[in-house]
Amino acid sequence: MERNFTPDEANELLWTVRPLVERMVEAKRALDAAQAEADDVSTRISGNGGGLPPARLAEVDAGVSRRATELARVLEEIQALGVVVKDLDTGLVDFPSVRDGRDVLLCWRLGEDEVAFWHGYDDGYAGRRPI
């Protein structure tokens, strides 16, 4: 069931959401870095072995798995609050709302002081308007 937020409720929830979004963005960066390392190690091993012990690939893959689990955990925490994650890299999230009888999304991005914009479901970030 989707929860609808008023602008005041969304801003009050930012005390909880902001640190979670910060963790999400960091977890995504860490996952991307771990995946890039795993890709590099895999490429080197598939070539001529690259002087790497075979256990190194398993170690790197385990790191990717840990990072992916961490990211999934924080995403679940955010979504459990009724907040919709839109962009893992920039920390863009939406709070479902109703404005003038129409379903809309209150939009917030990591680095912004408050939830101060909204857009329609089909408008996306580019269609943001001040509340």
- Read off the pLDDT of residues 95-109 as tens digits, 9 standing for 90 and up: 999 999 999 999 999
pLDDT of residue 65 exceeding 70, the answer is yes
The Cα 108–Cα 77 span in angstroms is 17
pLDDT of residue 38 exceeding 90, the answer is no
Across residues 58-84, what is the average pLDDT? 93
Confidence of residue 83 (pLDDT cuts 50, 70, 90): very high
Q: Dihedral sign, CA of 68, 69, 71, 72?
A: positive
State residue 12's pLDDT score.
97
- Residue 17: CB atoms within 10 Å: 23
State residue 57's pLDDT score.
73
The Cα 7–Cα 116 span in angstroms is 8
Q: Dihedral sign, CA of 20, 25, 30, 35?
A: positive
The Cα 63–Cα 69 span in angstroms is 10
